[in-house]
Amino acid sequence: AVADYVAHNPRSQTLCEVAAHVLPGGNTRSVLYHPPFPLTMVRGEGCWLWDADGHVYIDTLGEFTAGLFGHSDKTVRAALQEALVGGLNLSSHTAREARLGHEIQRRFPSMALMRFTNSGTEANLMAVAAATVHTGRRKVMVFDGAYHGGVLSFAGGGSPVNVPHDWLVAPYNDLEYAAALVRRHGADLAAILVEPMLGSGGCIPGTPAFLRGLRDLASDCNALLILDEVMTSRLSFGGRQALLDITPDLTTAGKYLGGGLSFGVFGGRADVMDRFDPRRSDALAHAGTFNNNVLSMAAGHAALSRVLTAEALDALNARGDHLRERLNALFAYEGVALQATGLGSLLTLHATDRPIRNAGDLAGSDLRVKDLLFFDLMARGIFLARRGMMALSLPLGEAECDCVLGAMLEIVELRQALLP
């Protein structure tokens, strides 16, 4: 499969080599690299992508969830064009930031007050900072396999470049373990930072009992519960917190909320967020030249107020549920140990049929099988992440889901002997 990939993508290979003269490995965003080299894209439209060698793909990756509106949403484009005409970098506030803030608050009422950032990474950094300042405590509970940003990554026990905090790393979906940590460290615990579903970690949903239990544990020891909904905010109009009726103290989000442009947001309880009020003598500073950049504000507001209605979002998530169910039915019918996990429009393929509740459950699974699926799907015009992730976008309809299923059926039948 890899030899075919190299033979079919000479232009992408050359472009990667050229890029490597200025960027390490030709890369400025680690998640995009995979051997022998990733594809270089030249154009996108709707849910379609064109690469440098002229191949066309169905984009099931949707920019790791930020591409929810597809590549060419007319409303978002018009808003960007209108904003461009009014000038960039206006050196002060515009009315756009409060407008976007109201739109976000309408969806996530737990965000009584919020602040914008340029990325989800920054949003999480700021939320953790707010929690440590608010509580006067240092420790932060996080979960093995969680990803909260480039310097907040807890896959495989943590990243050497993580920002220095006093982290307590617990297994996901293990409330007893978390409770034991709270019994030991509760008095020093500033926050529990958790994704309602491990996203990068493999689309592993937190159980309702686990997530509600964390809410109670945080309240019991006066720590803040920070829900990282950077990926899961799309699972309903009010995110996964609305689906589970959990009110976090702080929420972080980003990705599609900026209409496909760089964006992040953190917010929550007024008494916590009030600390950022610059009229206070003890105000916490939170700067950032591009926190209110005109293009992200315009795209985000147009996308949320006029494109992503509750109905459109529900239909998208139903499409994802349907695709996941059909993939799993196919795997069961063919008797192969593969599965698609996730919720709604977010899916990840795994090379095991055992239940997956946390990172430990993935430890033994065969990455070569995942790679085989990846290259075989790409060869059939289905673009996804090497780790098997898909994040469906609004323009990706049932017909494209049928193509994914058709490609998978072909691959499973062709590769039967190589699959677990």
Q: Residue type at 126?
A: M
What backbone phi and psi angles, to 5 degrees, belong to 354? -80, 155
**Pairing of the two strands 41-45 and 48-51:** antiparallel
Report the alpha-carbon distance of residue 355 to residue 352 in Å, rounded: 8
Shorter beta-carbon distance to ligand PMP: residue 64 or 237: 64
Q: Supply the minimum distance, in Å, between the C-beta of residue 92 and ligand PMP.
A: 25
Q: Residue type at 160?
A: P
Q: Supply the minimum distance, in Å, between the C-beta of residue 173 and ligand PMP.
A: 16
Q: Supply the minimum distance, in Å, between the C-beta of residue 72 and ligand PMP.
A: 22
Residues in the chain: 420
Q: Supply the minimum distance, in Å, between the C-beta of residue 419 and ligand PMP.
A: 28
Q: Supply the minimum distance, in Å, between the C-beta of residue 316 and ligand PMP.
A: 18
Task: Please check whether residue 411 is in contact with residue 336, taking contact to mean a CB–CB distance below 8 angstroms.
Answer: no
**Neighbouring C-beta atoms of residue 180, cutoff 10 Å:** 12
| Residues 6 or more apart whose Cβ sits within 8 Å of residue 35 | none
Q: Supply the minimum distance, in Å, between the C-beta of residue 380 and ligand PMP.
A: 26
**Neighbouring C-beta atoms of residue 240, cutoff 10 Å:** 24
Shorter beta-carbon distance to ligand PMP: residue 203 or 307: 203
Report the alpha-carbon distance of residue 293 to residue 89 in Å, rounded: 7
E-strand spans in 305-404? Answer: 339-343, 346-350, 382-383, 389-391
Shorter beta-carbon distance to ligand PMP: residue 115 or 407: 115
Q: Supply the minimum distance, in Å, between the C-beta of residue 171 and ligand PMP.
A: 17
Shorter beta-carbon distance to ligand PMP: residue 211 or 372: 211
Q: Supply the minimum distance, in Å, between the C-beta of residue 334 and ligand PMP.
A: 31
Which residues contribute to the site for ligand PMP (CB under 6 A)?
Answer: 64, 119-121, 124, 147-149, 195, 199-200, 228, 230-231, 254, 264
Report the alpha-carbon distance of residue 127 to residue 290 in Å, rounded: 18
Look at the block and give the residue holding tokens 């379609």.
48
**What is the DSSP code (8-state) at residue 307?**
I
Q: Supply the minimum distance, in Å, between the C-beta of residue 61 and ligand PMP.
A: 12
Shorter beta-carbon distance to ligand PMP: residue 260 or 411: 260
Token readout for 205 is: 């949903």
**What is the DSSP code (8-state) at residue 306?**
I
Shorter beta-carbon distance to ligand PMP: residue 299 or 407: 299
Q: Residue type at 6?
A: V
Token readout for 238 is: 């009010």
Element (DSSP H or E) covering residue 102: helix 96-107
Q: Supply the minimum distance, in Å, between the C-beta of residue 128 and ligand PMP.
A: 12
Shorter beta-carbon distance to ligand PMP: residue 343 or 369: 343
Shorter beta-carbon distance to ligand PMP: residue 359 or 408: 359
Report the alpha-carbon distance of residue 112 to residue 219 in Å, rounded: 18
Q: Supply the minimum distance, in Å, between the C-beta of residue 231 and ligand PMP.
A: 4
One-letter-per-residue 3-state SS of 179-244:
HHHHHHHHHHEEEEEECCEECCCCCEECCHHHHHHHHHHHHHCCCEEEEECCCHHHHCCCHHHHHH
Shorter beta-carbon distance to ligand PMP: residue 120 or 248: 120
- CB nearest ligand PMP: which residue? 120
Shorter beta-carbon distance to ligand PMP: residue 237 or 266: 266
Q: Residue type at 408?
A: M
Shorter beta-carbon distance to ligand PMP: residue 230 or 242: 230
Q: Sheet holding 224-228: strands in order across?
A: 113-117, 264-268, 250-254, 224-228, 189-194, 139-143, 166-170
